Amino acid sequence: MKNDNHASHHVIVPVKTYVAVFVALLILTFLTVFVAQFDFGSFNLLVALIVAMVKASLVVMIFMGLKWNKSFDRFAFFACLIFLFIFFLLVFVDIPLRSYRGVEESQHINLKSPVKLIAPGEAPVHH
């Protein structure tokens, strides 16, 4: 069997790189919280997801070492992401296109004690 992965086995990443990624992840966390203050309408989700994906890529490529790992591992991981995407896609081609009848579920919920609700931090917003 081929032995070309022996090198990847011994990749030693400089501390500098790890620290840089760590700092970048912190900044991106701050960014995602920061942009959540603004309302981009239906783009809110998109923005949050893009930031999350950048963070995830950093973790996968550097911390988990896929950048240096040229073997089948890398293919397996990305192929799986495609499968996950298809799963999402096909479920969303069906269920949201069906019409949905609201159900009187309020009758089924066990309303026990009248708890006054205080949201941590801020007051609930009603629309």
Partner 1 sequence: MSQVALNYLNATKGLKSWFCTLDHKRIGIMYLICIAVAFGLGGFFALALRLELISPKEILFTAKQYNQLFTLHGAVMVFLFIVPSIPASLGNFLLPLQLGAKDVAFPRLNLTSWYVYVFGALFCVYSMVAGAVDTGWTFYTPYSIDSATSVISMTLGAFILGFSSILTGVNFIVTIHKMRAPGLTWFRLPLMVWALYATSIIQVLATPVLAITLLLLVLERTMGIGIFNPALGGDPVLFQHFFWFYSHPAVYIMILPAMGIMSELVTTFCRKDIFGYKMIAFSSLAIAIISFLVWGHHLFVSGQSDYAAMIFSLLTYLVAIPSAVKVFNWVATMYRGSIQIKAPFLYFLGFMFLFCIGGFTGVMLGALSLDVHLHDTYFVVAHFHYVMMGGTVMAFIGGLHYWWPKMFGRMYNETLALIAWAFVMLGFNMVFFTQFILGSKGMPRRYYSYLDQFQPLHAFSTVGSWVLAVGFILMAFYLIDSLLNGKKAPSNPWGAMTLEWQTQSPPITENFLETPVVTHGPYDFGMEKQS
Partner 2 sequence: MDTSLQTESLLHTGTTFFPEGVGPFASSMDSLFYFIFWGSVIIFVPLILVSIYFLIAYRRKRENQLATKQMTHSTFLELAWTVPPTILVLIVFVWGFKGFLHMSVAPLNSQEIHVSGKKWFWEFSYPNGNKGIGELVVPVDTPVTLLMTSEDVIHSFFVPNFRIKRDVLPNRYTKLWFEADKVGNYQVFCTEYCGDGHSAMLAVVRVLSAEDYEDWLAEANSGDDLPLDKLGEKLYTSKACATCHSTDGTSRVGPTWKSLFGSKKAFVGGGTATVDENYIHESIVNPGAKVVAGFDNVMPTYAGSLNDREISALIAYIKTLQ
Partner 3 sequence: MSMLVNKPHHVAHHFASEAQEFESARLGMWVFLVQELLFFGALFVAYGIFRWWHPQMFIEAHHYLSWKMGAFNTVVLIASSFTMVMAIRSAQVNERKPLISYLLLTLLFAGVFLGVKYIEYMEKIHHGLLPGHFFSAQGVSEYLHLFFGIYFTMTGLHGLHILVGMGLLVWLLVRAIRGEFHSEFYTPLEMVGLYWHFVDLVWIFLFPLLYLIG
Sites of contact with partner 1 (CB under 8 A): 1, 72, 80, 83, 86-87, 90-91, 93-95, 97-98, 100, 103, 105, 108-109
Binding residue (CB under 8 A) for partner 3 from 16, 82, 83, 101: 83
When asked if residue 125 is in the footprint of partner 2 (CB under 8 A), the reply is: no
Buried (b) or exposed (e) across 15-32, using 16+ Cβ within 10 A? eeeeeebeeebeeeeeeb
Scanning residues 95 to 124, which ones bind partner 2 (CB under 8 A)? Answer: 98-104, 106-107
- Helix (H/G/I), strand (E/B), else coil: 98: coil
**Sign of the alpha-carbon torsion through 57, 62, 68, 69:** negative
Binding site for partner 2 (CB under 8 A): 41-42, 98-104, 106-107, 127
